[in-house]
Amino acid sequence: MKKITYLICPFLFAAGLCISSCTKEDDYKKFTKDGEISYPGKASNIIAQTGNKRVRLRVVLGPDPSITKIKTYWNSRADSLETAVVRNDGDTVNVIIDKNLNEGSNNFEVYTYNSKGDQSVVSNVSGNVYGDNYLSTVPRANRSVSSVQLSAYQRATINWGAALTDERFIEIYYTDAAGAAQTLRVPSQSVTNIPSYQLGTAITYRSLYAPENNAYDLFSVAPGTVDLAKATYSAVTTGYLYHPSSPRALSATKTLIPGGANGLIIDVADLGGSGYKALITVNPDNSLTVTEAPGAAGAPYMMFTAGLPAPYTAAWTGSASCNNTYDPVTKTYKVRYGYGTEGAYRVTEEIIVMN
């Protein structure tokens, strides 16, 4: 009997293989009864970009030219969205999903289809969605401005205060040297250079916030204004101070601040530590008017430019050229002015070359 048992088992096993093979073949024939199956190529990459109560899927298609649409499922396939594919528009299709999403992480299934309705294998991707909970934590302010440096060559540099939580970009609005309105968006940074800026025009800006670097939506408050009254220029100066008791040569890099239309406020000679400041204004003919700076230490004090001989002092070789004029090409001021009372005049002669 044992011999019979051992002989029967191989025959039963072979019969089982035959039945199984025939069943699979029949199933395949039923599956392909209308012709050969052609699976469209799946997406080669999918990038999920978080948004405000929505998400954008950037679906990067492979080389398969037969793809005609994309279908996306979410909420455990309870929701879906079909997106037409036009290959002339490029190899990346943007799928915007803004219905029935949960704040936080959401899972998506993405399929491609050809014109026959054949479906690719699935591509899975997760993406975050933010909403009211996140918005309640977003800073309601723009980043502060620490300082602004201006250049006579129509440039500006903004030094920012500390970045706020989740600040991703700073967007700056200004007028360029040619008079055209410009928008500059830069990553969150400590210093921003504006290479072409029309001096005297407004600069506004706003901080842009998002929970992720590649977010689709960004948040901000109303733009703030850069306080240009606190902006500064710098200049290299050489000159001479005629002082009744201590005449001396001058050489320094000075900080200047705007002073009204076409005006700059500068330390008088080397007396900035004492608070003495002059307001130098460029007139339409590029002549200069020099007066005391409003609010300067010791003001009011009489400043004058008339009645000063040229050169005022032979102790400085540049004296003869100081004729209270401005050269707009070289951005150079040549000044001669005095203050004080008769018999105790202090006279400053200075060549100021703007940076």
In three-state form (DSSP H/G/I as H, E/B as E, the rest C), the secondary structure along 149-201 is EEECCCEEEEEECCCCCCEEEEEEEEECCCCCEEEEEEECCCEEEECCCCCCC
User: Are residues 249 and 225 part of one domain?
Assistant: no
- Say if residues 226 and 205 touch (Cβ distance below 8 Å): yes
pLDDT tens sequence for the chain (355 residues)? 333 333 333 433 344 433 344 443 343 333 345 556 678 999 999 999 999 999 999 999 988 999 999 999 999 999 999 999 987 767 899 999 999 999 999 999 999 999 999 999 999 999 999 999 999 988 889 999 999 999 999 999 999 999 999 999 999 999 999 999 999 999 999 999 999 999 989 999 999 999 999 999 999 999 999 999 889 999 999 999 998 889 999 999 999 998 877 899 999 999 888 888 999 999 999 999 998 888 887 776 777 888 787 788 888 999 999 999 999 999 999 999 988 766 677 899 999 999 9
pLDDT at position 307, please?
78
Read off the pLDDT of residues 234-289 as tens digits, 9 standing for 90 and up: 999 999 999 888 999 999 999 999 887 789 999 999 988 888 899 999 999 999 99
Does residue 4 sit within a domain? no
User: Are residues 221 and 153 part of one domain?
Assistant: yes
User: Are residues 242 and 222 part of one domain?
Assistant: no
Q: Of 229, 250, 277, which one is at a domain's C-terminal end?
A: 229
pLDDT at position 99, please?
96
User: Are residues 331 and 285 part of one domain?
Assistant: yes
Domain interval for residue 128:
45-135
Read off the pLDDT of residues 102-144 as tens digits, 9 standing for 90 and up: 999 999 999 999 999 999 999 999 999 999 999 998 888 999 9
| Domain at 201, CATH number | 2.60.40.10
Does residue 238 sit within a domain? yes
pLDDT at position 261, please?
78
Does residue 154 sit within a domain? yes
Does residue 20 sit within a domain? no
Q: Classify burial at 69, counting beta carbons within 10 Å of its beta carbon; exposed 0-12, middle 13-18, buried 19 or more.
A: middle
pLDDT at position 86, please?
87
Cβ-based neighbours of 66, under 8 Å, separated by 6 or more: 38, 40, 114, 115
In whole numbers, what is the pLDDT of the chain averaged over residues?
87
User: Are residues 300 and 246 part of one domain?
Assistant: yes
Does residue 241 sit within a domain? yes
Does residue 271 sit within a domain? yes
How far is 230 from 149, CA to CA, in rounded Å? 9
- Give the pairing of strands 45-52 and 123-130: parallel
User: Are residues 348 and 262 part of one domain?
Assistant: yes
pLDDT at position 1, please?
37
Does residue 34 sit within a domain? no
Q: Of 229, 246, 265, which one is at a domain's C-terminal end?
A: 229
| Strand partners for 170 | 186, 207
User: Are residues 58 and 91 part of one domain?
Assistant: yes
| Domain at 265, CATH number | 2.40.128
> What predicted TM-score, i.e. pTM, was given to this entire model?
0.75
Q: Of 73, 107, 135, which one is at a domain's C-terminal end?
A: 135
What CA–CA distances, in Å, run from 318 to 44, 189, 237, 310?
72, 43, 12, 10
pLDDT at position 215, please?
94
**Count: domains in the chain:** 3
pLDDT at position 304, please?
82
The contacts found for 101-106 with CB under 8 angstroms, 24 or more apart, are 101/53, 101/54, 101/55, 101/74, 101/129, 102/129, 103/53, 103/129, 103/130, 103/131, 103/132, 103/133, 103/134, 104/128, 104/129, 106/55, 106/74, 106/75
User: Are residues 57 and 149 part of one domain?
Assistant: no
Which residue carries 């398969």 as its tokens? 64
How far is 153 from 175, CA to CA, in rounded Å? 14
How far is 48 from 61, CA to CA, in rounded Å? 14
Cβ-based neighbours of 285, under 8 Å, separated by 6 or more: none
User: Are residues 244 and 338 part of one domain?
Assistant: yes
